[in-house]
Structure 1
Amino acid sequence: MKTVGFLKALGPVVAMAVACNVYAQNAPATDTASAAAAVKAGKAANHELGRKVRHALTKTQGLDVSHIAVRARGGAVTLTGSVPTQGQIDAAGEAAKGVDGVMSVSNKLKVVQQ
């Protein structure tokens, strides 16, 4: 009798183990190569957008870009550093907003007499 009770208790455990094993074999595998390629493509896009914004800033008349850093991430651009006047802060923000691919601009420039 004890053997029958033991087998009845063991049945669901075996069924669960088999079900988990079948699921693990059929689960979709993550493709690390394509994930790495996507990360690399994202970094390249961010680098290219940052380059375009820096180019637009250098073409802006009356803007001293020597102390401005640009960071782009997924269409969001952050400007940091310092400029001599408030007008240059506004000009830098407008120039960055005018670049194709820029979705938002976080202008963290400060006025510092240089």
Structure 2
Amino acid sequence: MKVNNILKFASGALIVIASVNAWPQTSESADTSTAPAAEGSAKAARQANRALSKKVLRALSKGGVSTSRINVIAKGGAVTLAGSVTDASNIDKAAEIAKTVPGVTSVKNALTFKEVGQ
């Protein structure tokens, strides 16, 4: 009889210990505490990327490169120039101008030459 009671008590204690370790945690508390910070930082990063793209476009315009067919994609300081130019010499010129913009860490030049009307 004593052995049965001891076994029941020991198995009950093991169940309690196992259930404490495996206690379900709701993701709501974690989501509400980290989501605004993550969302805020992601939003700030998008805003910074848009601002850098605009700075590069402004610099290209001031440098004499037509930006009507150029798309500037910025992500964390890395800038990609995509689209086309009507003067082949503007391909390298655009990359050089983009490198001088504050905040630009690297430039990938994917510009192509297309004559007007193509």
Q: CA deviation at 1:34?
A: 2.1
Residue in 1 that maps onto 2:54: 51
Deviations 1:48-68 (A, max 9, x none): 10110000010113x222211
Query: How many pairs align?
Result: 110
Secondary structure of 1:64's aligned partner: coil
Report the Cα distance in structure 1 between the residues aligned to 2:76 and 2:20, rounded to whole angstroms: 44
Amino acid at match of 1:105: V
What percent identity do the matched residue pairs reach? 36
Residue in 1 that maps onto 2:69: 67
Detail structure 1 runs of 4+ shifted over 6 Å in the superposition.
Answer: none
- Alignment RMSD: 2.4
Report the Cα distance in structure 2 between the residues aligned to 1:20 and 1:95, rounded to whole angstroms: 58
TM-score by length of 1: 0.81
Secondary structure of 1:31's aligned partner: helix
Residue in 2 that maps onto 1:31: 34
Name which of 18, 21, 24 aligns with 1:19. Answer: 21
Deviations 1:50-109 (A, max 9, x none): 110000010113x22221111111111111101123311100001111100001111110
Report the Cα distance in structure 1 between the residues aligned to 2:43 and 2:71, rounded to whole angstroms: 22
TM-score by length of 2: 0.78
Task: Tell whether 2:109 aligns with 1:107.
Answer: yes
Unaligned runs of 5+ in 1: none
Query: Which residues of 2 match residues 3-14 of structure 1 at below 5 A?
Result: 4-14=6-16
